[in-house]
Amino acid sequence: MNTKRGQFSSRFGFILAATGSAVGLGNIWGFPTQTTENGGAAFVFVYAILAFLLAYPALMAELTLGRYSGQNIVTTFQDLARTRIGRIFGGAAGYYGVLVACLILSFYTIVAGWMLAYFCSSFLTLFGMNEAAAWFVEDGILRNLVFSSLFAILTMTIIARGVENGIEKWSIRLMPSLILLFVVLIIYVLTQDGAIEGLKQYLLPNPKQLGNPDLIISAMGQAFFSLSLGVGTMLIYGSYLSKREDLPSVGAAVTLVDLGVAFLAGLLIIPAIFVAQNSGIQVYSDSGELVAGPGLILQVLPALFASTGVLGAVVSILFFALMSIASLTSSISMLEVAVSVTVEKTQRSRLKLTFIIGALILGVSWLIVLNFERLFGFVINLTTVYSQPLLGVVMCIFVGWVMYRHKLLQELKLGNEEVEKTMFWKVWPVYVRFICPALILLVVYNSF
């Protein structure tokens, strides 16, 4: 039995894996949807500010905790606590994080399965097999069960291989292809009629909307989901990072790439909506609202692709390949949370535990598929709106109040001797102690 801990072999590998986790359905689907729902460019502007003001400090808390302890979320919290009560609380918070990560994966698997199904469907369309293609895009229980299972198996296969041969190798393969596909698609969409109108909506903020509290709250929630915060994903990735790396700068790189990809996604999808409208596709519902959520990606875009013949079919294949890839580099990071805890706590085989946990999560996915109306929205709300921010507060408390300040400095100094003189050290420790938790609690309070 191999109990040696894995490590990312390079800084580049770590950044691609962590950005791979961050970049996912949240960026490509969630961000453009939220942007259209919250006043276009104003949302983009506020989101960018909050990503650095709130999400980046919380990400730093998680990465630092993980690298300091070199362990999973549960053990990290338990070992840091200095009292018996603290240990119990830490353990409970840690296991709650694991549970939330698993629940997020259970609904994520369903949506990612849709992306795979649409990908297959575009392939069949290209070869003229229209009847078969229609089955893949028609919402059905059997289709959802099949594709969520396929996606879960892909996720398990990568995680079973561990850090360097699984997470890192696949992130290095998948992430650059994702960016490349993006650029190709953006060029295609921006050369179509109607795209410029979309570009204006996306880039020119309406100053009246900048202070809208709903907009601020949505932007904060979106930032937390997008950076995979709170559940121990970034903590465990931090624990696989070499001690030589400068945490504040790798954290900033991850935040920037995540923000950049969300921005690119908007640059693709918002003009695409206007191109679709231009070619006669219905993009506003009867009540006058923009088709949002699943509708945006699963109705408007395929309709747009279908209206442009063979080229459209090719673009469609590319787009859904991109969605599937982005989902996969995120889903592996969710599964790693539970796998790392159980492997390190029980010292049993990673392979076995990966498939047992993966199968349990898939069981929950099936349950959601079979009771879709009742469970899907409920699980999303429970995990992303409430649990993630609250667990983010726990992370800030552990860094700000439980971990000794000199230990914190020591840890950061390993990667940068001069860190004490930086702006980061002057602001961040106080910031995660007081301001960050207070702001997060405000978000949660407001969401009630």
C-beta closer to ligand TRP: residue 15 or 22:
22
Rg, the chain, Cα only: 21
Indicate which single residue of 19, 21, 35, 78 sits in contact with ligand TRP (rule: CB under 6 A).
21
Q: Which residues of 420-437 are buried (b: 16+ CB within 10 A; e: fewer)?
A: eeeebbeebbebbbebbb
Q: How far is the CB of 26 from ligand TRP (least distance, A)?
A: 2
Q: How far is the CB of 333 from ligand TRP (least distance, A)?
A: 5
Q: How far is the CB of 343 from ligand TRP (least distance, A)?
A: 18
With contacts defined by CB under 6 A, how many residues of the chain interact with ligand TRP? 17
Please give the distance of CA 187 from its chain centroid, rounded to a whole number. 25
Q: How far is the CB of 364 from ligand TRP (least distance, A)?
A: 16
C-beta closer to ligand TRP: residue 58 or 81:
58
C-beta closer to ligand TRP: residue 247 or 338:
338
Among residues 302, 300, 309, which one has the least CA distance to residue 277? 300
C-beta closer to ligand TRP: residue 334 or 393:
334
C-beta closer to ligand TRP: residue 337 or 343:
337
Residue 290 phi, psi (nearest 5) = -65, 135
C-beta closer to ligand TRP: residue 64 or 329:
329
Q: Under a CB-based contact definition with an 8 Å cutoff, are residues 292 and 37 in contact?
A: yes
Indicate which single residue of 13, 15, 19, 24 sits in contact with ligand TRP (rule: CB under 6 A).
24
Binding mask 221-260 for ligand TRP (x = CB under 6 A): ----xx-x--x-x---------------------------
C-beta closer to ligand TRP: residue 343 or 391:
391
Q: How far is the CB of 104 from ligand TRP (least distance, A)?
A: 5
Residues 309-348 touching ligand TRP, rule: CB under 6 A, are 330, 333-334
Indicate which single residue of 27, 36, 316, 365 sits in contact with ligand TRP (rule: CB under 6 A).
27
Binding mask 87-126 for ligand TRP (x = CB under 6 A): --------------x--x----------------------
C-beta closer to ligand TRP: residue 217 or 408:
217
C-beta closer to ligand TRP: residue 81 or 337:
337
Q: Taking CB under 6 A as the rule, does residue 151 contact ligand TRP?
A: no
C-beta closer to ligand TRP: residue 333 or 365:
333
Q: How far is the CB of 222 from ligand TRP (least distance, A)?
A: 9
Residue with tokens 């006669």: 280
Q: How far is the CB of 15 from ligand TRP (least distance, A)?
A: 15
Q: How far is the CB of 413 from ligand TRP (least distance, A)?
A: 29
Q: How far is the CB of 19 from ligand TRP (least distance, A)?
A: 10
Using H for helix, E for strand and C for coil, what is the string for the chain?
Answer: CCCCCCCCCCHHHHHHHHHHHHCCHHHHHHHHHHHHHCCCHHHHHHHHHHHHHHHHHHHHHHHHHHHHHCCCHHHHHHHHCCCHHHHHHHHHHHHHHHHHHHHHHHHHHHHHHHHHHHHHHHHHHHCCCHHHHHHHHCCCHHHHHHHHHHHHHHHHHHHHCCHHHHHHHHHHHHHHHHHHHHHHHHHHHHCCCCHHHHHHHHHCCCHHHCCCHHHHHHHHHHHHHHCCCCCCHHHHHHHCCCCCCCHHHHHHHHHHHHHHHHHHHHHHHHHHHHHHHHCCCCCECCCCCECCCHHHHHHHHHHHHHCCHHHHHHHHHHHHHHHHHHHHHHHHHHHHHHHHHHHHHHCCCHHHHHHHHHHHHHHHHHHHHHCHHHHHHHHHHHHHHHHHHHHHHHHHHHHHHHCCHHHHHHHHHCCCCCHHHCHHHHHHHHHHHHHHHHHHHHHHHHHC
Stretch that binds ligand TRP, among 17-25, 120-128, 182-190, 422-430 (CB under 6 A): 17-25
Residue 349 phi, psi (nearest 5) = -65, 135
C-beta closer to ligand TRP: residue 246 or 336:
336
Residues that bind ligand TRP (CB under 6 A): 21-22, 24-27, 101, 104, 225-226, 228, 231, 233, 330, 333-334, 388
